[in-house]
Amino acid sequence: MVKRASPLEIYKFLDKSNCKECGLETCMAFSTDLLERNKKLSDCPHLQRPKQAKNLRKLIEITTPPQKPVEFGVGERLCTIGGEEVIYRHSLTFYNEMAIAITLDDNAEDLIDTVKYLTGIVISRLGDDLKLNAIALKCVSKDAECFKNAAKTVVENSDIPVILCSFNPEILLAAAAEIKNKKPLLYAVTKESWEKIGSFAFDEDLPVVCFSNDINELISISASLQKMGVREIVLDPGTFFGEGDVSDTFDNIIQLRLAGINSGDENSGWPIMGVPAALWKDIKVKNEKDLWKFQYKEMIRACIMAAIDTSLIICHTGKKKEDIWALLAILTFRQNVFSDPRVYPAIDPGLEQIGEPGEDAPIFCTTNYRMTVYPVREDIKSANIDAYLLSVDTGGIGVESAVAGGQYSSTAIAEAIEEYKPFEKVKHRIIVIPGMGARLSGAVEDDANCVCIVGPRDSSGIPDFMKKRWDPAKDMAEFAER
């Protein structure tokens, strides 16, 4: 595997003045943040001075990952793909999640509506807003004017990055020239068109996709483009659906990743893409059952591509509102595959207000495990319950394990009550703990001097619990008689 630079190796080429102009206390801290990609070389003004040019070149060389990153689009939704240093996420982390693009035909009648719909899709899950990354505009009209106008329409109606798709270089470049200030990704350069598109991409500093079903040919196109000075390249080794061809698709992606990341081959060291949408090229949908069968097939292919860290995929399914299930599947799967394994899934412990809780509002108490807090919060919110949510510091461990391990104990709950003072917000002293912590209830009442009610085992049972069990006046009356 290509060796990663250490903070000390980076430090050697920095100014070492500790001037703090980068916002950090020391140059050593900058080295560490640079390595973790929290800072860029451009954040150190000293490195931009002419006399530091040699050091800057060296730093670019030692900090560029073996799979170089590619950016397309501009502004807030700029999309970065590739830039990975490892084959397996658990070896370090993946820095850029797989980008998902949906195809649109340049002559589609509902182009504007679909562009706006796809741009606005946001699925909130476990604290993240899951979105699509790009629109892949296909030239099906075979007409340069139509394609160019469609490209213009897309960027006028959306800030989502665009991939321009045509194998005809004249048509592709006419549209690219029209929207070049939006930094589209140009799909695709072939062995026939590399000179023409490469020269345009070099002049306009635009990223391109090389396409070939033959890996050796693909690498050769990549090498030629680099010699021309093209700075950002994506590799598409083809997506096959025929019998016996499926494994070739995945083998090619993995071979290219291994060559780029593990062997440091410069021509393979670029983001790799796949096109699950290729499934639809030669098929005829006869009925609804057929449609579902092909949609499932496409989404399974998309998920497998995410699982092997493909940098970008283009899908066909998902542009219609009734196909939202497909996007939910691939966006959720991507979130799981690309989450950072080094970040413990914890949130800051504390007291959170949900809705507009009054004096009789319930106080639910859970751990600070992210995967617990978010579903509990969502279940309370979606049931329109006004409440408080108290998260106890269990080091990010979920309820069941934290009860067993002692992190979610009567003492920890009492300390959280003492620190975050939930009872000062209401006129009762009742805490609701999860069903999985039932055995702690007596001790919690003693340690925190309160009523401890055992709630449902699963937060989806909270609405039912509120209807059948929540009666603070009754519980407090009994508490007063103790």
Rg (CA), the chain: 27
The reply on whether position 17 binds ligand SF4 by CB under 6 A is: yes
Q: Work out how close the CB of 53 gets to ligand SF4 at its nearest, in angstroms, rounded to a whole number.
A: 15
If the CB atoms of residues 21 and 214 are measured against ligand SF4, the closer one turns out to be 21
Q: Work out how close the CB of 35 gets to ligand SF4 at its nearest, in angstroms, rounded to a whole number.
A: 13
Residue type, 116: K
CB under 6 A: which stretch of 9-17, 304-312, 423-431, 467-475 binds ligand SF4? 9-17
Q: Could you give the dihedral angle defined by the CA atoms of residues 298, 80, 125 and 400, in that order, rounded to the nearest 10 degrees?
A: 100
Q: What angle do CA 469, 474, 476 make, to 5 degrees?
A: 110
The reply on whether position 196 binds ligand SF4 by CB under 6 A is: no
Q: Work out how close the CB of 20 gets to ligand SF4 at its nearest, in angstroms, rounded to a whole number.
A: 5
* CA–CA gap between residue 152 and residue 148 (Å, rounded): 6
If the CB atoms of residues 53 and 300 are measured against ligand SF4, the closer one turns out to be 53
* CA–CA gap between residue 221 and residue 212 (Å, rounded): 9
Q: Work out how close the CB of 41 gets to ligand SF4 at its nearest, in angstroms, rounded to a whole number.
A: 9
What lies within 8 Å, CB to CB, of 54 at 6+ separation is none
Residue type, 92: L
If the CB atoms of residues 59 and 426 are measured against ligand SF4, the closer one turns out to be 59
The reply on whether position 13 binds ligand SF4 by CB under 6 A is: no
The reply on whether position 464 binds ligand SF4 by CB under 6 A is: no
If the CB atoms of residues 46 and 180 are measured against ligand SF4, the closer one turns out to be 46
List binders of ligand SF4 among 40-69 (CB under 6 A): 44-46
If the CB atoms of residues 26 and 224 are measured against ligand SF4, the closer one turns out to be 26
The reply on whether position 14 binds ligand SF4 by CB under 6 A is: yes
If the CB atoms of residues 42 and 91 are measured against ligand SF4, the closer one turns out to be 42
The reply on whether position 30 binds ligand SF4 by CB under 6 A is: yes
If the CB atoms of residues 24 and 347 are measured against ligand SF4, the closer one turns out to be 24
Among 18, 149, 255, 339, binds ligand SF4 (CB under 6 A): 18
The reply on whether position 22 binds ligand SF4 by CB under 6 A is: yes
* CA–CA gap between residue 193 and residue 124 (Å, rounded): 42
Among 27, 59, 150, 331, binds ligand SF4 (CB under 6 A): 27
If the CB atoms of residues 54 and 286 are measured against ligand SF4, the closer one turns out to be 54
CB under 6 A: which stretch of 21-29, 58-66, 123-131, 318-326 binds ligand SF4? 21-29
**CA of residue 471 relative to chain centroid, distance:** 43
Among 4, 7, 11, 15, binds ligand SF4 (CB under 6 A): 15
Q: Work out how close the CB of 59 gets to ligand SF4 at its nearest, in angstroms, rounded to a whole number.
A: 10
Q: Work out how close the CB of 18 gets to ligand SF4 at its nearest, in angstroms, rounded to a whole number.
A: 5
Give the DSSP letter string of 192-225.
Answer: TTHHHHHHHHHHHT--EEEE-SSHHHHHHHHHHH
If the CB atoms of residues 55 and 295 are measured against ligand SF4, the closer one turns out to be 55
In this structure, how many other beta carbons lie within 10 angstroms of the beta carbon of residue 408? 29
If the CB atoms of residues 46 and 425 are measured against ligand SF4, the closer one turns out to be 46
Residue type, 435: G
* CA–CA gap between residue 137 and residue 103 (Å, rounded): 6
User: What ranges in 36-180 are assigned the alpha helix state H?
Assistant: 53-63, 111-120, 144-157, 169-178
The reply on whether position 20 binds ligand SF4 by CB under 6 A is: yes
Q: Work out how close the CB of 96 gets to ligand SF4 at its nearest, in angstroms, rounded to a whole number.
A: 24
Among 24, 162, 201, 363, binds ligand SF4 (CB under 6 A): 24
Lookup: tokens for 177:
């020239």
Q: Reduced to 3 states, what is the DSSP secondary structure of residue 432?
A: strand
The reply on whether position 462 binds ligand SF4 by CB under 6 A is: no
Q: Work out how close the CB of 350 gets to ligand SF4 at its nearest, in angstroms, rounded to a whole number.
A: 33
If the CB atoms of residues 27 and 139 are measured against ligand SF4, the closer one turns out to be 27
Number of residues that bind ligand SF4 (CB under 6 A): 14
Is the bond leading into 480 cis (omega within 30 degrees of zero)? no
| Adjacent-strand bridge partners of 99 | 312
Lookup: tokens for 456:
């449902």
How many CA atoms does the CB half-sphere of 204 hold within 13 Å? 23
Q: Reduced to 3 states, what is the DSSP secondary structure of residue 36?
A: coil
Q: Work out how close the CB of 92 gets to ligand SF4 at its nearest, in angstroms, rounded to a whole number.
A: 23
The reply on whether position 224 binds ligand SF4 by CB under 6 A is: no
Q: Which residues of 366-392 are buried (b: 16+ CB within 10 A; e: fewer)?
A: bbbbbebbbbbbbbbeebebebbbbbb
**CA of residue 342 relative to chain centroid, distance:** 15
If the CB atoms of residues 28 and 123 are measured against ligand SF4, the closer one turns out to be 28
Q: Rounded to 5, what percent of the chain is helix, strand, coil?
A: 50, 15, 35
Q: Work out how close the CB of 16 gets to ligand SF4 at its nearest, in angstroms, rounded to a whole number.
A: 7
Contact in structure between 184 and 161 (CB atoms under 8 Å): yes
**CA of residue 144 relative to chain centroid, distance:** 34
If the CB atoms of residues 24 and 327 are measured against ligand SF4, the closer one turns out to be 24
Q: Note the residues at the interface with ligand SF4 (CB under 6 A).
A: 14-15, 17-22, 24, 27, 30, 44-46
